[in-house]
Structure 1
Amino acid sequence: MIIRPSAERGRSQLSWLNSQHSFSFGHYYDPHHQGFSHLLVINDDQVAPGGGFAQHGHRDMEIISYVRSGTLAHRDSLGTEEHIRAGEFQLMRAGSGIQHSEFNASQSEPVHFLQIWIKPAQRGLPPSYQQRAFPRQDGLQAIATPDGADGTLQIAQDATLYRWQGERLDYQPQGGRWLYLHLLEGKLAGEAVALRAGDGLLICECEALHLQGQGEALLFDLPAE
Structure 2
Amino acid sequence: MNGIAKSINVGSPEPSMGKDAPTTGIIKKPVTEPVTVRAPGPKTTGLHSGVVGDHIGDTRHHGGDDQAIYAYAVEDYAWWAASLGRDLPPGLFGENLTTSGLDLIGGVIGEKWEFGSGLVLQVTFGRIPCLTFQNRMGEPRWVKRFAAVNRTGAYLRVVTPGTLVPGDRITVVDRPAHGLTLAESYEIYLHDHTRLARLLEAPELPPKMLAEVAERLA
Could you tell me the TM-score, scaled by structure 2's length?
Answer: 0.31
Q: Judging by fraction of residues, say which structure has more helix.
A: 2
Q: Judging by fraction of residues, say which structure has more strand.
A: 1
Could you tell me the TM-score, scaled by structure 1's length?
Answer: 0.31
